Amino acid sequence: MLKLNNVSFLVNDEGQDKEIIRNINIEIPDNKLIVVTGPNGGGKSTLARLIAGIEKPTQGSIIFNGEDITNMSITDRARKGISFAFQQPVRFKGIDVMDLIRIASGKQLSVSDACQYLSLVGLCARDYINREVNASLSGGELKRIEIATVLARGAQLSVFDEPEAGIDLWSFKNLIEVFENIKKTIKNGSILIISHQERILNIADEILVLKNGKLEHQGKKEDVLPLLLGTQSAVVECNKKEAWKGENI
């Protein structure tokens, strides 16, 4: 389980402190698929980076499986069982796809094993297994290869920052199926996805809504999604809570 206790994150903007995340308290239980959504600039990607260890909170603590990891590096957090998939995947010149999946898994995988991960993300394995992870690959191809490496790693907590970014419609449909399959087979692990996409929100167990760095809503999909989709009852509730009625999710 992951817990964020009173976590805040400040940056200095032209001599002024700007609060990106404000006193966030979140619990992410095991064996759940959690989606974080909200208006642009609300702090969603910053939250993911704080969990991964790319950024460090200026206040509060982050607890993973009962251990304080607030000051741990991204490498140490990865060793503890946290994976992070970037919104814009990193290119690795000189490394082929096979080697990348083997490195991610930490095992000497067979070609057949590695190909299974590529197939899960909708790539024809024989066309990609020996490809170099460089500029010859499109953004969508790189995104799917990165997701394959996260699957190969089998981390206890996998964080995906807008995995749909740069992916065509066919690949997006396949991506939804990938996450649905992971959700069905997940054991002692959770997935946290940053996304605006309704189809991704629809497969969530729980949804967190961030606005202006604050946690506006957290709860089961059945309770939170209607608020975001603007049903009549949701409009009343949103008005009461001064939420962001009418904005795109």
Higher pLDDT, residue 247 or 9: 9
pLDDT at 170: 64
Asked if residue 102 has pLDDT above 70, the reply is yes
Domain-embedded: residue 249 = no
- DSSP assignment of the chain equals -EEEEEEEEEEEETTEEEEEEEEEEEEE-TT-EEEEE-STTSSHHHHHHHHHTSS--SEEEEEETTEE-TT--HHHHHHHTEEEE-SSPPPEEEEEHHHHHHHHHTS---HHHHHHHHHHTT--HHHHTT-EESTTS-HHHHHHHHHHHHHHHT-SEEEEESTTTT--HHHHHHHHHHHHHHHHH--S-EEEEE---HHHHTT-SEEEEEETTEEEEEEEHHHHHHHHHT-HHHHHHHHHTT--TT---
Asked if residue 148 has pLDDT above 60, the reply is yes
DSSP H helix total and E strand total for the chain: 10, 12
Dig out the tokens for 217 from the structure: 């809503």
Q: For 174-229, write each residue's pLDDT tens digit.
A: 778 878 877 776 667 789 999 988 889 999 999 999 999 999 999 999 999 998 88
Asked if residue 51 has pLDDT above 70, the reply is yes
Q: Are 54 and 83 in contact (CB under 8 A)?
A: no
Q: Are 37 and 208 in contact (CB under 8 A)?
A: yes
Domain-embedded: residue 248 = no
pLDDT at 245: 38
Domain-embedded: residue 246 = no
Average pLDDT rounded to a whole number, residues 224-244: 56
Instruction: Name residue 16's beta-bridge partners.
Output: 13
Q: How many domains does the chain have?
A: 1
d(CA 194, CA 51): 12
Supply the DSSP symbol for 43: S
Question: Which has the closest alpha carbon to 60: 87, 22, 14, 92?
Answer: 22
pLDDT at 247: 40
Higher pLDDT, residue 68 or 121: 68
Domain at 183, CATH number: 3.40.50.300
Instruction: Name residue 92's beta-bridge partners.
Output: 133
Specify the pTM.
0.80
pLDDT at 243: 38
Confidence of residue 125 (pLDDT cuts 50, 70, 90): confident
Average pLDDT rounded to a whole number, residues 160-175: 75
Dig out the tokens for 43 from the structure: 């702090």
Domain-embedded: residue 29 = yes
Domain extent for 218 = 2-240
The most confident of the ranges 72-76, 113-117, 233-237 is 72-76
pLDDT at 166: 67
Confidence of residue 236 (pLDDT cuts 50, 70, 90): very low
Domain-embedded: residue 227 = yes
Asked if residue 162 has pLDDT above 60, the reply is yes
Cα 191 to Cα 51, 116, 148, 153, distances in angstroms: 12, 20, 14, 13
